[in-house]
Amino acid sequence: MPHTKTTILLPLLTLAVLAAGGGLLLDYVNNLTRDDISNNRRAATLQVLRQIVPGPDNNDIFHDLIEITEPGYFGKGREVTVFRSRENGDALGVVYYPVIAEAYNGPVELGIGVSLDGTITGVRVMREQETEGLGAEVYQQKSDWILTFNGLSFSQVPRDQWNVRSENGYFDQISGATITSRSVINAVRNTLDYHHLAGDNLYK
């Protein structure tokens, strides 16, 4: 039986429709997955940052924010979000995130909470790439080293002492990870420097 144009084109059209439909379905699933991953990552980030928020606050801190770019304090081209903590409209302090410390194996992302008077309410490592057993000890799940900053300010530890103890500074260093320790200390110190410079402008 001879093939007509219709009998030849019909299977081709069917395949084309199925391929197009499959492509659209795949895009839809990818978009859903991408949104889920993004939302889960955001939720996890906010949960950790909540641990270091100056408080007790009663504002919607995760929508009360500003974006800053200050190359002299946070690195060239790096944008930092400043989450603002308030109680009944009165400023309590802020959380800076992400603050990047250039460690031995790559960047370490920090969240840094600072009260209105310049006291650190907490520092947390949000992401790091350090070697297990060495620089990875900076991560709060691995050791308590990062908690060293809690409650500190320049009035308690003068600015020129914000270094590792082996270099005449105030802070102990992570064993075998002097570079990472020094980098995190510097990042926290620079954040305090900016906090004092910015003052009330952070809350406008």
Residue 37 has what pLDDT?
66
Return d(Cα 69, Cα 64) in angstroms, integer.
17
Return d(Cα 99, Cα 42) in angstroms, integer.
16
Residue 165 has what pLDDT?
95
Return d(Cα 61, Cα 84) in angstroms, integer.
6
Residue 183 has what pLDDT?
94
Residue 132 has what pLDDT?
42
80/11: higher pLDDT? 80
pLDDT classification of 15: cutoffs 50, 70, 90: low
41/98: higher pLDDT? 98
- Side chain identity at 83, as an amino acid letter? F
- Side chain identity at 156, as an amino acid letter? Q
pLDDT classification of 40: cutoffs 50, 70, 90: confident
- Per-residue DSSP letter, 139: S
Residue 25 has what pLDDT?
58
Residue 135 has what pLDDT?
42
**What contacts 24+ positions apart, CB below 8 Å, involve 24-32?**
none
Return d(Cα 153, Cα 160) in angstroms, integer.
12
Residues 172-198 have a mean pLDDT of 93
Q: What is the DSSP string of 6-68?
A: HHHHHHHHHHHHHHHHHHHHHHHHHHHHHHHHHHHHHHHHHHHHGGG--SS--S-TTTSEEEE
